[in-house]
Amino acid sequence: MIVALMGYMGSGKSTIGKELATVLNYKFLDLDSVISDAEKSSISDLFKKKGEIYFRKKEAFYLNEILKSENHVVLALGGGTPCYGNNLQLLLKQSKVSTFYLKLSLPLLSSRLFKEKNDRPLISHIDSEEALTEFIGKHLFERSQYYSQAKHIIDIDGKSQQDILEAILMYLI
């Protein structure tokens, strides 16, 4: 089985994914890290030097490779992965893939991401929490139609890592 975690940046896909992989005794893969390692470039540099279209093509390619070749994996998707090309359909049609949307509210996302915005190229230029909230709100409005198609939606507001893990495991067992 492949457990695919989706959600907006800052929703905890990598953090929860690593813990979940440990509990399940699965391998953990972060799709952005797979792309970065394979392309020998950071994601922000790929966007700057080769553009978003190039990145999205590579994202779809590596996602496809993982789905063909891996099993017993927890996969943290990039925030935009389910929203481009046929990535979401590819994930949903595979019986060996179980998709989870880690749903965090706009105020909590904004608060969490404002503290780490300098480490996130997409939002590093935003200088107020209000502007960041507006930016994220627009993105969530566009992306929620994709995220909401996950087989399982886990509302993670106010939940501990342990609570989130237990909620995911309930669906897997």
Q: What residues does each domain of the chain span?
A: 2-172
Rounded to the nearest integer, the mean pLDDT of the chain is: 93
14 annotated to a ligand binding site = yes
Torsion of CA 19, 20, 23, 27, to 10 degrees: -90
Q: Which parts of the chain sit beneath pLDDT 70?
A: none
Check the annotation: does 10 bind a ligand: yes
pLDDT of residue 93: 95
120 has binding-site annotation: yes
Measured in degrees and rounded to the nearest 5, phi and psi for residue 39 equal -90, -5
DSSP bridge pairs for 26: none
Q: Is 112 marked within a binding site? A: no
Check the annotation: does 143 bind a ligand: yes
pTM over cut 0.75:
yes
Q: What gap in Å lies between CA 39 and CA 48, rounded to an integer? A: 14
Q: Which CATH code, of 3.10.20.740, 3.50.50.60, 3.50.30.10, 3.40.50.300, is assigned to 2-172?
A: 3.40.50.300
